[in-house]
Amino acid sequence: MVTTDRETAFALKGRDYLTIADFTTDELHLLLKQAADMKALTKKHIPHPYLSGKTLAMIFEKSSTRTRVSFEVGMYQLGGSALFLSSRDMQLGRGETIADTAKVLSRFVDGIMIRTFEHQKVVGLAEQASVPVINGLTDEHHPTQVLADLLTIYEHEGRLKGLKACFIGDGYNNMAHSLLEGAAAVGMDLTVASPEGYEPDQKIFKAAEARAEENGCHVAVTHSPQEAVEGCDIIITDTWLSMGDENEQEKRLHDFQGYQVNDTLVARAKPDYLFLHCLPAHRGEEVAASVIDGPHSIVFDEAENRLHAHKAILKCLLESN
Ligand code: CP
Ligand code: NVA
C-alpha cells in the first residue's frame, strides 16, 4: 500500500518516540525530510513557530550536553519552551513512582523527553503518560541520535539505501542497537564488530536481520573489525564505557584492545569513507585523534543535526493540526 506524506504525518501525531523499530520506513523518511526542512528554515533564519505555547519536560537521570541543549534550543526555535528536570532534584529521585510522575507531568506539559538507564522505565512512562514520550537515551536504545546520524549520512552521500556501514566497538550498547534498527529500516548494510561477550542483544539483532531482509540489505555481527571495515562507505564507533559502565573501566579497556578505529583499520574502507561518532569521544581509546579530527570525520555535522532531527520529531509528534 502506498501512503502519502500527509497520511504518514497524520500517523505520527501524538505518538511516542521510543525506538527506531517502532517506525515504518515511510515514517522515518518523512522525519528525515522534515529534519532537512527544519534545517533549511533555521539556516535562513525564517521563523517556524509550529509549537507556539507548547512545553516539553526533559527528565535527565544521566549526563548530557548535546541532547539537552538541542532539545531545549529546538523547542525555543519552534516557539515553545523546555523544562530541564534533573531526577536528582525531582521526587522521582526520592522514590515517587514513574506512573505517578507520568500522570502528573501529563497535566502540565505537551511532551516528555527522558534519558535514563533501563529501557523498561521509558516504556512504563509512555504507557502511563497521556502526552508523547521521547527516548533521549536508555541503556538499550539511542533513537534520536540515530535519526540525526541518518540525516548526516544522507546529506553527505545523497542516499542511504545500498550504502555499506560498520560499527566497531561495544555491540551491546544503545548506539549499536539503534543503528542496527535504523540501517535495517532504510536499506543500508551494517556490520557490528565487537569483542566476545559484547555482541548486540540477540532479540534486537534478529528483528533487525528480518527487517533488513525485507528491505534488501544485510546486518551482521563479527569479532573482526578488519572484516567489518572492508570496503565500507561509513565507519561508526562509540565509547567503550557507556554511562553506567564506569565500574567496569579496567576490564573494558582490556577487552576492547584491537577495536580502536585508527589509520591502519580505516585503510581497509573505501577511500572516501565517512566517520561518525555520537560523542562524547575518547581519543586514544575507541578512536585515534587522526581519524576523528581528520578529513573523513563528520562528527560535528552529526552533532549539529541533533537539533534539526529533534525539531522534526517534536513537530511531527506534538503539533496540534
Ligand atoms: N550524543 C549524545 O547523546 O550526547 P550527549 O550525551 O551530550 O547528550
Ligand atoms: N553509548 C553512550 C552514548 C552517549 C551519548 C552512553 O550510553 O554513554
pLDDT at 7: 87
Average pLDDT of the chain is: 97
Give me ligand 2 centre to Cα 246, in Å.
Answer: 12
pLDDT tens digits, residue range 184-218?
999 999 999 999 999 999 999 999 999 999 999 99
pLDDT at 88: 87
Q: Judge whether residue 311 has pLDDT over 90.
A: yes
Quick one: angle between helices 25-43 and 143-157, nearest 10?
A: 70
Ligand 2 nearest-atom number relative to CA 174? 1
Q: Judge whether residue 1 has pLDDT over 80.
A: no
Coil, helix or strand for 31? helix
Mean of the pLDDT values across residues 218-245? 98
Q: Is 311 within 8 Å of 35 (Cβ atoms)? A: yes
Q: Judge whether residue 3 has pLDDT over 80.
A: no
Q: Which of 71, 141, 174, 247 to mutate to test the pocket of ligand 2 (most atoms within 8 A of CB)?
A: 174
pLDDT at 103: 98
Ligand 1 nearest-atom number relative to CA 65? 7
Point out the residues that are catalytic: 115, 142, 145, 238, 278, 306
Q: Judge whether residue 106 has pLDDT over 90.
A: yes
Nearest CA to ligand 1 atom 3: 67
Q: Judge whether residue 4 has pLDDT over 90.
A: no
Q: Where are the domains of the chain?
A: 5-141+305-318, 144-302
Nearest CA to ligand 1 atom 4: 66
Topology annotation, domain 144-302: Rossmann fold (3.40.50)
pLDDT tens digits, residue range 121-159?
999 999 999 999 999 999 999 999 999 999 999 999 999
Mean of the pLDDT values across residues 62-71? 98
C-alpha dihedral over 72, 76, 79, 85, to 10 degrees?
40
Q: Judge whether residue 2 has pLDDT over 90.
A: no
Percent of the chain past pLDDT 70, that is, above it, reads 99
Q: Judge whether residue 274 has pLDDT over 90.
A: yes
Superfamily of segment(s) 5-141+305-318: Aspartate/ornithine carbamoyltransferase (3.40.50.1370)
Ligand 2 nearest-atom number relative to CA 62? 8
Give me ligand 1 centre to Cα 280, in Å.
Answer: 7
Residue 5 — very low, low, confident or very high, per pLDDT cuts 50/70/90?
confident
Check for a shared fold between 5-141+305-318 and 144-302: yes
pLDDT at 87: 86
- What pTM does this model have? 0.97
Q: Beta 189-193 vs 219-222: how paired, if at all?
A: parallel
- Which residues, 6+ apart, have CB-to-CB distance to 226 below 8 Å? 265, 268
Coil, helix or strand for 195? coil
Q: In angstroms, how far is CA 199 from the centroid of its own chain?
A: 19
Q: Is 4 within 8 Å of 282 (Cβ atoms)? A: no
Find out whether the beta carbon of 178 lies less than 6 Å from any atom of ligand 1: no
Give me ligand 2 centre to Cα 252, in Å.
Answer: 15
Find out whether the beta carbon of 145 lies less than 6 Å from any atom of ligand 1: yes
